Amino acid sequence: MILSSIKLEELLDNRKFWEIGLVLHQIRNLTIIKEIKKRLKGKVVIVCIGNELKGDDGAGPALAKFLEGDVKADVINCEEVPEIYTDKIKELKPDTIIIVDAVDVKEKAGSVVLIDKNKLEGERIYTTHNIPLKVFVDYLSSETKANVFIIGIQPLSLELGKGLSKEVRKTLKYLKDIFIELLKEINS
């Protein structure tokens, strides 16, 4: 059956279509897990950024709370002012720094993207913080010599006074499970 000859109603009712979508989603998730695992080396510091008062921008701080005491890594909740925590991060002498932040990369709400520090220059990545991610990442990389990368979470809403969307909440639970397992592996 050729896709262009299928009516939309038939496509939406087609169970195979949904199964294929689920498989593609799972493959993407496995790819992200493998990429994160490949980058984790030595002492890991997870830097969570965001503003809890602005809907899904609070993804970073929410993840920091979810991870507290459950992972074998230092977790720092920087809220919306990550530049204040640079000395603390340097004192920890990390080999790997993971920055978690809500970033608008025009994906589906709750989507996870891995962003290398080298890709920050040309990418259109929007955050709500005073210091651009590129400046923050370059500084940490230069000062710590750590491998620094970003896990970006696509927000649904950054509206003041709103809580986390269900899509982002689901993603945070998923990331928590990933971090617990992967960090257990590299620390054993």
Instruction: Give this prediction's pTM.
Output: 0.81
Residue 137 sits in which domain range?
7-186
Q: In this structure, what token pair is assigned to residue 165? A: 């969307």
How far is CA 25 from each of CA 39, 93, 136, 149, rounded to the nearest angstrom?
A: 22, 36, 31, 22
The torsion defined by the Cα of 168, 89, 145 and 73, in degrees rounded to 10, comes to -60
pLDDT of residue 28: 59
Measured on CA atoms in the order 177, 155, 126, 28, is the torsion positive or negative? positive
Do the domain assignments include residue 75?
yes
Q: Which residue has the tokens 């990442």?
A: 137
Do the domain assignments include residue 163?
yes
Closest CA relative to residue 158, chosen from 48, 78, 52: 52
Do the domain assignments include residue 34?
yes
pLDDT of residue 31: 81
Q: In this structure, what token pair is assigned to residue 91? A: 């004192």
Number of domains in the chain: 1
Do the domain assignments include residue 40?
yes
Say which CATH number the domain at 91 has: 3.40.50.1450
Do the domain assignments include residue 2?
no
How far is CA 70 from each of CA 45, 66, 84, 121, 175, rounded to the nearest angstrom?
A: 14, 8, 25, 34, 12
Closest CA relative to residue 99, chosen from 72, 134, 66: 134
pLDDT of residue 42: 95
SS3 of 34-103: the string is HHHHHHCCCCEEEEEECCCCCHHHHHHHHHHHHHCCCCCCEEEEEECCHHHHHHHHHHCCCCEEEEEEEC
Do the domain assignments include residue 1?
no
Do the domain assignments include residue 169?
yes
Give the C-alpha separation, 23 to 55, whole Å: 29
Q: pLDDT tens per residue, the chain (188 residues)?
A: 333 334 444 434 444 444 444 434 444 567 888 889 999 999 999 999 999 999 999 999 999 999 998 999 999 999 999 999 999 999 999 999 999 999 988 888 999 988 887 766 655 554 555 678 888 999 999 999 999 999 999 999 999 989 999 999 999 998 999 999 899 877 65
